[in-house]
Structure 1
């Protein structure tokens, strides 16, 4: 899906979100924030060494995951993706309204032996709970 200027919609669920560590990667290519939303309830989420999340679509045990939609110039999409941590890739993400957009997904090997954080419903909720637990 794309906007009326030809920008591609990209769903992000971790450190590319507003105010987080890798958000400048989106801003530097001229991407603009569109909205907050959620996936359809068919995804699971893992914390990769508490540095970033990885989301995968599953056939069982999934739930909706919070994310942001960004409008990214097509020419800048590759630059953003090349700066993502290893094991993250672009794929199609099903939103809770039935729409499908491009999004950042984790490859299965990346999630092996990592902490599953699906129950928190998103990276921001998980990191907020982790900070509260340390206080």
Structure 2
């Protein structure tokens, strides 16, 4: 295996704070996508999102798919905030890819933002003052 597809749903996306980690790993943007409608999303202290697959109450979440050289994947993960990990993510078309997920403890007590449908929409609402508070 020379590369893997990686779904990212937050600050690793194009134009956002940690996208440089993708570029440094020589990752290549493939496409925008959505998850199957079985995920929930939280804002972790207003700095980055965490996504979890759930049995009920989930929605489709916007994300990006990147092709990452296998030898660059570890470098990306090592720079992710604590509590984020890699798991399998189901896309809206049924495809399964690796992606960034949040551990359950990371999301405890954090602001759920599932209703925004993704980090970009939440962040945009925050920037325009539509969302109150830092989380």
Which of the five TM-score ranges fits, normalised by the shorter chain?
A: over 0.9
* Distance (Å, rounded) in 1 between the aligned partners of 2:81 and 2:126: 21
1:40 corresponds to 2:40: no
Which of 78, 97, 100 is the equivalent residue of 2:96? 100
1:75 to 71, 83, 86: 71
Question: Residue 123 of structure 1 corresponds to which residue in structure 2?
Answer: 119
Aligned residue for 2:41, secondary structure, equals strand
The 1-side partners of 2:127 and 2:98 are apart by: 30
| TM-score between the two structures when normalised by the length of structure 2 | 0.94
Offset of residue 36 of structure 1:
0.2
Unaligned runs of 5+ in 1: none
For 1:56 and 1:98, the matched residues in 2 are separated by 17
State the alpha-carbon separation in 2 of the partners of residues 24 and 131 from structure 1. Answer: 22
Q: 2:4 aligns with which of 2, 8, 17?
A: 8
- Cα deviation for residue 7 of structure 1 reads 1.4
Stretches (4+) displaced over 3 A: none
Number of corresponding residues: 131
Separation of aligned partners in 2, 1:130 and 1:104? 22
TM-score (norm 1): 0.94
Query: Distance between the aligned counterparts of 1:83 and 1:126, measured in 2?
Result: 23
Q: Any unmatched runs of 5+ in structure 2?
A: 131-135
- Structure 2: distance between partners of 1:73 and 1:130: 33
CA RMSD of aligned residues (A): 1.3
